[in-house]
């Protein structure tokens, strides 16, 4: 491991598939920054020098380096998406592939990578990973961990992707980070006889706000792409844990929810309302389909990677629901002409 290292040298290591794994392992660490998100940052002991700097002059430690090497961090945080783009570019020209565009949060793009020998692999296989594995699809993935529905609406990256790639389906995952990033501030003391009493009334307002952004997205999609099949979901009952920074701990320390059954009951209340709002919203549209994932992944630690994300097996169960829905609504692609 070279330390100090120039910005240009580190960028080259991340660009080269033969050295990406070693570079990520040696120079970066992954830090959770929210319930559905995290990012790679330079390790604190790493020193980066600008090209041509001599000795220690021009050396900057990890934390102050963020602005200087922002594009390096972007590379580290986008390796999985780059791999997906590469696969999509290879597959979209195959006549027997159905083109799908996906947009969303870490249920569609789990960001964290792990080292396996000399390679880097996704630590968790998310929904889109399983869709990509299906030989029937060519998947253009726009997802990013930590995506919030308000940014998806305002940035509208999906519109350009739909116009360019003309998919049969658009699949959206969002709202979880919007809600649970502010969840700790919603929790209060309550009574187990009235599970909603553990939440301030603002929790209902937050769900209404999320629904409003979905309304805006569906208005754009159904007006501009009337034949496009749109698929939404509202998450399963997630897994509050006693050591969970974003959900479990606030329930215990702020709300006084000492019993696991009560914490799970509160999650069920939240997710039922969240799901119902999106199901009601999608119902009037002929080409908008809501997938009810509730009860798909058991609220059992054997199926969960952390309190927000299922593990590989759990996400497989979720992905199967999406594949079943796609089988129902999509027309098979035309077979490739034979010579």
Q: Are residues 24 and 116 in the same domain?
A: no
Instruction: Report the largest interatomic distance among the alpha carbons of the chain, rounded to a whole angstrom.
Output: 72
Q: Are residues 259 and 286 in the same domain?
A: yes
- What's the rounded Cα separation, in Å, for the pair 101 and 86? 14
Q: Are residues 47 and 136 in the same domain?
A: no
Q: Are residues 110 and 44 in the same domain?
A: no
Query: Of the residues 32, 55, 74, which one is the last residue of a structural domain?
Result: 74
pLDDT exceeds cutoff 70 at 34:
yes
Look at residue 334 in the predicted model and tell me its pLDDT: 60
The residue among 164, 177, 267, 237 whose CA lies nearest residue 213 is 177
How many residues would you count in the chain? Answer: 339
H-helix or E-strand containing 70?
helix 70-77
Q: What is the dihedral of CA 111, 70, 31, 256, to 10 degrees?
A: -100
Domains contained in the chain, number: 2
Q: Are residues 48 and 171 in the same domain?
A: no
Answer yes or no: pTM beyond 0.75: yes
The three-state (H, E, C) secondary structure of 87-106, written as one string: HHHHHCCCCCCEEEEEEECC
Look at residue 118 in the predicted model and tell me its pLDDT: 65
Q: Which tens digit of pLDDT belongs to each residue from 262-299?
A: 999 999 999 999 999 999 999 999 999 999 999 999 99
Instruction: Give the domain range for residue 226.
Output: 80-329
Q: Is 187 left (phi over 0), alpha (psi -120 to 50) or beta?
A: beta
Average pLDDT, the chain: 87
Q: Are residues 51 and 134 in the same domain?
A: no
Contact 245, 33 (CB under 8 A): no
């Amino acid at each position: 491991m070279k330390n100090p290292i120039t910005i240009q040298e580190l960028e080259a290591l991340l660009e080269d598939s033969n050295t990406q794994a070693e570079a990520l392992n040696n120079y970066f660490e992954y830090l959770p920054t929210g319930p559905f998100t995290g990012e790679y940052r330079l390790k604190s002991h790493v020193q980066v020098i600008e090209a041509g700097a001599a000795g220690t002059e021009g050396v900057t430690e990890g934390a102050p380096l963020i602005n200087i090497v922002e594009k390096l961090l972007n590379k580290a945080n986008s390796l999985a998406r780059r791999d997906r783009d590469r696969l999509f570019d290879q597959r979209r020209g195959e006549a027997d592939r159905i083109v799908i565009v996906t947009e969303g949060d870490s249920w569609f793009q789990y960001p964290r990578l792990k080292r396996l020998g000399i390679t880097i692999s996704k630590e968790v296989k998310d929904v889109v990973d399983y869709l990509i594995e299906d030989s029937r699809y060519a998947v253009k993935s726009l997802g990013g961990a930590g995506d919030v529905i308000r940014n998806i609406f305002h940035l509208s990256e999906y519109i350009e992707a739909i116009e360019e790639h003309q998919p049969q389906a658009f699949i959206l995952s969002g709202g979880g980070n919007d809600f649970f990033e502010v969840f700790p501030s919603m929790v209060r003391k309550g009574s187990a006889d009235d599970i909603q009493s553990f939440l301030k009334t603002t929790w209902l307002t937050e769900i209404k706000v999320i629904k409003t952004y979905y309304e805006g997205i569906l208005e754009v999609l159904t007006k501009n792409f009337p034949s496009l099949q749109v698929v939404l979901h509202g998450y399963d009952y997630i897994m509050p844990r006693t050591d969970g920074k974003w959900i479990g701990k606030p329930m215990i320390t702020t709300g006084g929810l000492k019993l696991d059954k009560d914490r799970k009951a509160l999650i069920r209340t939240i997710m039922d309302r969240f799901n119902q709002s999106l199901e009601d919203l999608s119902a009037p549209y002929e080409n908008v389909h809501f997938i009810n994932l509730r009860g798909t992944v058991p609220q059992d630690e054997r199926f969960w990677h952390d309190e927000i994300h299922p593990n590989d097996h759990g996400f497989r169960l979720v992905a199967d629901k999406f594949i079943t829905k796609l089988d129902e609504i999509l027309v098979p692609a035309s077979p490739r002409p034979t010579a």
